[in-house]
């Protein structure tokens, strides 16, 4: 019997770079010393990608039925063949309804496995949203799939790297839809989830910064509709009363200054690009995407399907390695675990 945690890796959209970064991971001896990676995907596709990229595929392939019967005894890297697609049904870089549905199915089954307690965490390779939508699956991203499938009463996206870590009050909504989604309760939820996750990662009470919504954080009502005074400051004060070490709302362009981010464990952002712009600019190859507040631990690569280089062996697998390593550090942080 192994003492290593089992981690499900989902293969991502089969037409993208997901299969090849998963092949790198499955073959890595260092990863195999830290956990038992279990790849949920299509074995036929994976064999074609291995042949095309000259990457090795030595891990044994088992069926979904075999997994469900024998998961507790599995202590070696393996592939669970979900058989969603014929091996020859996919062209490299060509996403469509079939690849979108396949990518979603891997995630769906991975969530089942995690909710059933078969695995300690899920790390996901990239989906392609347009392919999913072509299949009639209308989630904007992994974050929303996991939140919906686990009925989490509150959750939020975190982008984590050693250089900079951001959490998000809103994510995949249009620019103009953000203000109506900002409430004291939602911001306080995100602050609490952020503080709990960072305390686990840092092993000490973290220092949290909260961004304003408006330029210069509204400059005392000069810009905007006093969202800072009406909504953000009350949430910060409520968090401070809980003993959270917190500062803000800062002018958004001040929050990311080099000395400020070095003195900060995490930055709470009001909208997608407020945090994604600096994370991608500063930590493009090391950031990991995760969802806080779920009953299961879930991390994800911070890149897309990169269809222009799919199945060519060019994709940099560092983000999926970072995702698995962060998942291992987060095990035990779920508020439900």
User: Which residues here bind a second copy, judged by CB under 8 A?
Assistant: 129-130, 133, 140, 171-179, 213-216, 218-220, 222-225, 227, 252-254, 256-258, 261, 271-274, 276-282, 284
**Closer residue to a second copy (CB): 177 or 308:** 177
The C-alpha angle with vertex 289 and arms to 304 and 306, in degrees rounded to 5, equals 10
Cα diameter, the chain: 63
**Closer residue to a second copy (CB): 116 or 257:** 257
Taking the CA atoms of residue 174, residue 181, residue 158 and residue 276 in that order, the dihedral angle to the nearest 10 degrees is: 30
**Closer residue to a second copy (CB): 13 or 227:** 227
| Closest distance of CB 284 from a second copy, Å | 5
Q: Which strands form 207-211's sheet, in the order they lie side by side?
A: 61-63, 78-81, 36-41, 6-10, 121-124, 297-300, 288-292, 156-160, 166-168, 266-269, 207-211, 245-250
Distance CA 300, CA 288 (A): 6
| Closest distance of CB 276 from a second copy, Å | 4
| Closest distance of CB 269 from a second copy, Å | 10
| Closest distance of CB 303 from a second copy, Å | 10
Residues 85 and 49 sit within 8 Å (Cβ to Cβ): no
Q: Which helix (H) or strand (E) holds 316?
A: none
Distance CA 248, CA 202 (A): 21
| Closest distance of CB 178 from a second copy, Å | 7
| Closest distance of CB 131 from a second copy, Å | 12
**Structure tokens belonging to residue 194:** 């952020």
**Closer residue to a second copy (CB): 277 or 331:** 277
**Closer residue to a second copy (CB): 226 or 329:** 226
| Closest distance of CB 157 from a second copy, Å | 11
| Closest distance of CB 282 from a second copy, Å | 6
> Coil, strand, or helix at residue 255?
helix
| Closest distance of CB 206 from a second copy, Å | 20
**Closer residue to a second copy (CB): 119 or 323:** 323
Structure-token match 């939140």, residue found: 147
**Closer residue to a second copy (CB): 13 or 192:** 13
**Closer residue to a second copy (CB): 106 or 271:** 271
Residues 136 and 263 sit within 8 Å (Cβ to Cβ): no
> Coil, strand, or helix at residue 204?
coil
Tell me the CB-side half-sphere exposure of residue 98, using CA atoms within 13 A. Answer: 14
Distance CA 175, CA 270 (A): 11
Cα distances from 169 to residues 48, 95, 173, 292, in angstroms, run 41, 30, 11, 12
**Closer residue to a second copy (CB): 37 or 278:** 278
Q: Which helix (H) or strand (E) holds 11?
A: none
């Amino acid at each position: 019997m192994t003492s290593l945690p089992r981690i499900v890796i989902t293969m991502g959209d089969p037409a993208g770079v997901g299969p090849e970064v998963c092949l790198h991971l499955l073959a890595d001896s260092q990863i195999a010393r830290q956990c038992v990676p279990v790849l949920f995907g299509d074995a036929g596709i994976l064999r074609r990608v291995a042949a095309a990229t000259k990457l090795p595929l030595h891990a044994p392939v088992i069926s979904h039925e075999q997994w469900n019967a024998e998961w507790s005894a599995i202590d070696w890297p393996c592939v669970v063949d979900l058989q969603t697609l014929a091996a020859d049904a996919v062209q490299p870089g060509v996403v469509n309804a079939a690849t979108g549905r396949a990518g979603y199915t891997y995630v769906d089954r991975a969530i089942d496995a995690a909710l059933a307690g078969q695995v300690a965490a899920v790390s996901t390779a990239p989906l392609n949203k347009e392919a999913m939508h072509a299949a009639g699956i209308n989630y904007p991203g992994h974050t929303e799939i996991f939140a919906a499938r686990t009925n989490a009463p509150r959750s939020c996206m975190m982008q984590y790297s050693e250089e900079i870590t951001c959490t998000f009050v809103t994510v995949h909504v249009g620019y103009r839809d953000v203000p109506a989604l900002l409430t004291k309760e939602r911001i306080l939820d995100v602050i609490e989830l952020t503080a709990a996750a960072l305390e686990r990662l840092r092993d000490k009470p973290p220092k949290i910064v909260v961004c304003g919504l408006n330029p210069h954080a509204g400059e005392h009502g000069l810009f905007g509709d006093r969202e800072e005074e009406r909504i953000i400051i009350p949430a910060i004060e409520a968090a401070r009363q809980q003993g959270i070490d917190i500062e803000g709302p800062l002018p958004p362009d001040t929050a990311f200054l080099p000395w400020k981010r070095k003195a900060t464990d995490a930055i709470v952002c009001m909208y997608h690009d407020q945090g994604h712009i600096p994370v991608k600019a500063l930590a493009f190859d090391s950031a990991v995407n995760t969802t806080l507040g779920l009953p299961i631990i879930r991390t994800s690569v911070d890149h897309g399907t990169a269809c222009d280089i799919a199945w060519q062996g060019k994709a940099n697998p560092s983000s999926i390695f970072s995702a698995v390593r962060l998942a291992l550090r987060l095990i035990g942080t779920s508020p439900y675990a």
